[in-house]
């Protein structure tokens, strides 16, 4: 009778060992894994705080959640900009705990709090589909190879070759004017999505090509496993973790595109003067958001930046510093979370 297959030290192997691959690894529980990746814990805590602020924003600032009050002075004279106040309860009526911006005179804290749910939904609309499209395209290209791989990568490289900012800016000019105001932000997200998925496909394809040539995948293929089974059971689970390194870059691209376009809009419209909206200046329609009053992080930042000149005296620095810090801390949470997931899943895959 033939002996059961064994390892070099003479121990028998299981029936499915050698074909299961890294994805079948049995390791310690999630709590032990989290203890080994403190960056993941810190990132989850930070993102949880932002999610909590977004969920509580209707209670913190009652009223229309999609509108910020514009603080307009009488006549067409630019009103004074309010500096941050030191009130213990920052959400009391008329308070500016983080100051009041230039531009349209937004309450900085109210704008950031009310804008949190919209910005989180916008980023989810862009990043999650970009990751999914990149995973599918990269996995199929890396596993199948040949002509299909060349076609998919040529398509991917064509999107990588064009500057994202220019493409989205031009598309916004010619597309968003035909979109109803209530849908502009979400259509803008789809325009950004159309140009940010390609880096995910490229990094996943590189990893999938390596994984598809590993012994356990070759053994599964020789045993008659279909391409779909190979992709879902072996290649995709062990090729997904590199996408986490790309997510912070996508976040930076989205906020840079939206913030840069809106800051350019404030420079092109001198009527944005601390609440001055009307004669003697005429303003073009706002192309990216539903209205001038809409709460969005980079719109609050753009309004603050429009009234800030670094070399001038008595600058309203709070209109730039506080929105920038709010965005930077959120970005730090995303970076820590993605770094922790990358470390955790890459270790699981190697083991």
pLDDT confidence band for 280 (50 / 70 / 90): very low
- Average pLDDT of the chain? 78
Structure tokens at 273: 């003067």
Task: Indicate if the pLDDT at residue 22 is higher than 50.
Answer: no
What pLDDT score does 117 carry?
A: 96
- 3-state helix, strand, coil split of the chain in percent (to 5) is 60, 0, 35
Residue range 185-241, pLDDT digits in tens: 899 999 899 889 999 998 888 888 888 777 877 787 777 777 777 777 777 787 888
Q: Mean of the pLDDT values across residues 44-48?
A: 95
H or E element, residue 59: helix 38-60
- In whole angstroms, how far apart are CA 85 and each of 44, 82, 88, 90, 137? 31, 8, 9, 8, 52
Determine the Cα–Cα distance for residues 154 and 88; give it in Å rounded to an integer: 58
Q: What spatial distance separates the first Cα and last Cα of the chain, rounded to whole Å? A: 34
State which of 34-38, 50-54, 247-251, 311-315 shows the largest mean pLDDT.
Answer: 50-54
Instruction: Name the residue with tokens 């709460």.
Output: 295
pLDDT at residue 62 tops 60: yes
Model confidence pTM above 0.85:
no
Tokens (6 digits) for 85: 């106040």
Q: Quote the CA–CA distance of 313 and 102 in Å, as a whole number.
A: 15
Give all domains of the chain, ordered by start, each with its CATH number. Answer: 56-82+92-350 (1.10.3720.10)
Give mean pLDDT, residues 147-157. 88
Exposure string of 86-113, with b = 16+ CB inside 10 Å and e = fewer, is eeeebeeeebbbbbbbbbbbbbbbbbbb
Query: Between 17 and 175, whose confidence is greater?
Result: 175
Which of 193-197, 240-244, 276-280, 304-308 has the weakest average pLDDT? 276-280
Average pLDDT over residues 151-170: 86
Distances (CA, A) of 103 to 46, 208, 276, 286, 304: 30, 49, 8, 13, 6
Looking at the predicted structure, is the pLDDT value of residue 25 above 70?
Answer: no
Return the structure tokens found at 284. 């073009």
63-94 pLDDT tens trace: 889 888 876 544 455 556 777 876 655 555 55
């Amino acid at each position: 009778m033939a002996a059961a297959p064994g390892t070099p030290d003479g121990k028998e192997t299981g029936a499915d060992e050698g074909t299961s691959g890294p994805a079948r690894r049995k390791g310690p529980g999630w709590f032990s894994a989290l203890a080994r990746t403190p960056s993941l814990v810190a990132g989850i805590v930070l993102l949880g705080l932002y999610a909590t602020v977004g969920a509580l924003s209707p209670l913190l600032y009652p009223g229309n959640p999609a509108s910020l009050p514009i603080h307009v002075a009488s006549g067409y004279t630019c009103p004074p900009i309010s500096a941050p106040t030191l009130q213990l309860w920052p959400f009391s009526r008329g308070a500016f705990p983080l100051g009041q911006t230039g531009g349209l005179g937004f309450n900085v804290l109210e704008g950031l709090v009310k804008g949190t749910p919209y910005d989180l939904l916008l980023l989810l609309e862009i990043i999650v589909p970009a990751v999914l499209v990149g995973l599918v395209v990269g996995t199929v290209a890396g596993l199948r190879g040949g002509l299909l791989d060349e076609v998919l990568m040529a398509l991917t490289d064509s999107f990588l070759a064009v500057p994202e900012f220019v493409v989205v800016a031009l598309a916004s000019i010619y597309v968003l004017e035909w979109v109803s105001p209530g849908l502009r932000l979400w259509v803008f997200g789809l325009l950004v999505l159309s140009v940010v998925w390609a880096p995910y496909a490229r990094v996943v394809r590189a990893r999938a090509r390596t994984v598809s040539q590993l012994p356990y995948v070759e053994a599964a293929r020789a045993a008659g496993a279909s391409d779909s089974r190979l992709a879902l059971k072996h290649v995709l689970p062990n090729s997904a973790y590199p996408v986490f390194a790309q997510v912070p870059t996508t976040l930076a691209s989205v906020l840079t595109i939206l913030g840069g376009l809106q800051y350019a809009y404030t420079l092109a419209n001198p009527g944005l003067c601390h609440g001055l909206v009307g004669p003697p200046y005429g303003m073009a329609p706002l192309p990216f958001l539903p209205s001038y009053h809409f709460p969005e992080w980079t719109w609050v930042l753009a309004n603050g930046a429009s009234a800030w000149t670094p070399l001038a005296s008595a600058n309203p620095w709070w209109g730039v510093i506080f929105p920038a810090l709010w965005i930077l801390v959120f970005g730090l949470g995303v970076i820590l979370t993605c770094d922790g997931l990358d470390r955790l899943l890459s270790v699981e895959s190697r083991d």
